[in-house]
Amino acid sequence: MNLDALYTYVLNSIALLQPEVIVTIGLLGVLIIDLFTPKSMHKWSAGVFLGVMVLALISLSGQSGVQASVFFGMIAVDGYAVFFKYLFLVSAILATLITLFSDEMDRNGRRFGDYFIVMAGLVLGMMLMAGANNLLMMFISIELVSLASYILVSYLKDEKTSNEAGVKYIIYGAFSSGLMIYGISLIYGITGTLSISEINEVLKNPAVVIDPVTLTIAVLLTLGGFGYKIAAAPFHFWAPDAYEGAPTPVAAFLSVGPKAAGFAMMLRFFKTIFFGTSTPEGYQILDNIDWVSILAAVSVLTMTIGNVTALWQQNVKRMLAYSSIAHAGYILMGVILLSDSGIAAMMFYLAYYLIMNLGVFFTAMLIADKVQSFELDDWRGMGFRAPVLAIPMVIFLASLIGIPGTVGFAGKFLLFVAVLQQGSLYFWLALIAVANSVVSAFYYFKVVKMMYLKKPVENADGPISVSIPATVLVFVFAVPTIVLGLWWQPLYNWALASVRMLVG
């Protein structure tokens, strides 16, 4: 490749990464604007950040139907990545709005600038994760997301719980990335390349003899990094502590954004590396290692641990952390299915999970800001003290259980249908998932019971007033939870159309 051709190639690559470039410029923009604004106007950085996210969304809308590999196969820009990039940008916008209503962040008294710089870095990392087509890019982008998350979790510098959450998070996170990079180094050693499609070529080649034990160990170590990002067992231990100690808007964002990014990258990794030729009917899987059974075991373990441990939680935030672990278990079912419908169901579930989980965290945050506590006991009688928050809360919890008529039901329904379509082999998996959903109803309804069937605490102040903008935002989450639950076909069709990944 001569210099002119190289120049044109790089320019074309940059053009295809326009949304990422906008986010990067936004990161620097927030930094510079924050330097020159007086402290009284520090909330403006939120406005700048929102503007950047909207610009990136507009730029992203020009990328439908693009199938390209940029920067020498490092990053893929395909329908699959674009779908997830929409998800990340929307979740970042909603998380920013949640942040603006948080008492916790206000009380802290620090400038918002730092927060949104790190947040922009996080969004950039997630967008790269969705497209990463090379183990080098995968490792860098997952680390970018992790580093930004560590900072956000321990953002409340003076709160002891936030400190503790940050320390626990970074030690688990750094340990998992140590495992992951060791696994990547072994995969590189076995196959001699870092590009995941070239690894696939090597594995497909019958002339190359590969020791299955080494490959299994290498993939299991790499799985450590993915498992940590999506909070799957046995790498879930950080999640309850990190979510409970983190500022609530951060916990809400971590439970949807980076988790979706982890799933996006994990699926691309497994699907590109371990599949033979793919046809519309299904995929032919390479039989080097039995990763389907491994991931099925992880999925069952994750959802069971999440749901069972959530049963005896007395702290709502911690309970929601375990609930998000359990949901990662459900979503993992979509990863192990060897079908387009399984992948589409997974993408669909992640999109719907975004709405209901951000909603439940936001409502819980508003209630907790009023009663100064996430303890379930202090929430007694909330249904009578603050009906405008309690009713949406019930909607979100019903959706998390998967009651018909909500987005949670649509997501679980499509996931279970995709599982059962794969034949009786996966029947037991669907059965365990349904049993888990039933168990989850107990702890979700414990919150409803406290809010509606118990008398308010004796020294309670009576009715709680909620500001109009906060109420509006609660309903911005609550209305789609119902409406999209009944009218889910368009999003599912979009997910189905976005399944095709770029190979090569």
Partner 1 sequence: MESLTLNHFLTLSAILFSLGVFGVMTRRNAVVVLMGIELMLNSANINLIAFSRFNGNLDGQMLAIFVIVLAAAEAAVALAIILNMYSNLKTVNLDEVDQLKE
Point out which residues bind partner 1 (CB under 8 A): 135-136, 139-140, 143, 147, 150-151, 154, 157-158, 160-161, 163-168, 170-171, 174-175, 177-179, 181-182, 184-186, 188-189, 192-194, 240-241, 244-245, 309, 312-313, 318
Count Cα atoms within 13 angstroms, Cβ side, for 77. 21
CB-based contacts of 106: which residues, under 8 Å, 6+ apart? Answer: none
**CA 314 → CA 202, 332, 374, 400, 442, distances in Å?**
51, 27, 8, 18, 13
Cβ proximity to partner 1, 7 vs 312, nearer residue:
312
For residue 315, the cross-strand partners are: 375
Which residues, at least 6 apart from 140, have a Cβ–Cβ distance to it below 8 Å? Answer: 128
Tokens representing residue 341 in the block: 């419908």
Closest CA to 367 of 440, 316, 319: 316
Choose between 376 and 393: whose C-beta lies nearer to partner 1: 376
CB of 500 to partner 1, least distance (A): 27
Q: Indicate the DSSP class of residue 275.
A: E
The amino acid present at 102, given as its one-letter code, is S
Find the shortest distance in angstroms from Cβ 189 to partner 1.
4
**20 vs 340 by CB, closer to partner 1:** 20
User: What stretches of 372-488 show up as alpha helix (H) in DSSP?
Assistant: 382-385, 387-401, 407-421, 427-452, 468-486
Q: Which amino acid appears at position 363 of this protein?
A: T
Q: How far is the CB of 480 from partner 1 (least distance, A)?
A: 32
Shortest distance, CB of residue 428 to partner 1, whole angstroms? Answer: 30
DSSP alpha helices (H): ranges in 101-211?
103-108, 112-131, 135-153, 160-191, 196-204
Cα distances (angstroms) measured from residue 457 to each of 369, 460, 501 = 16, 5, 54
Q: At its nearest, how many Å lie between partner 1 and the CB of residue 120? A: 16
Nearer to partner 1, 178 or 504 (CB): 178
Report, in Å, the least distance between residue 122 CB and partner 1. Answer: 13
Instruction: Give the nearer residue to partner 1 in terms of CB position, either 139 or 396.
Output: 139
Judged by DSSP in three states, 77 sits in strand
| Nearer to partner 1 (CB atom), residue 166 or residue 411 | 166
Structure tokens at 157: 């510098």
Least Å distance, CB 386 to partner 1, is 27
Q: Which is nearer to partner 1, 89 or 137 (CB)?
A: 137
Minimum distance from residue 102 beta carbon to partner 1 (Å): 19
Query: Which candidate, 112, 109, 98, places its Cα nearest to that of 159?
Result: 109
Our CB check for partner 1 shows the closer of 154 and 272 to be 154
Query: Which H or E run includes 333?
Result: helix 316-336
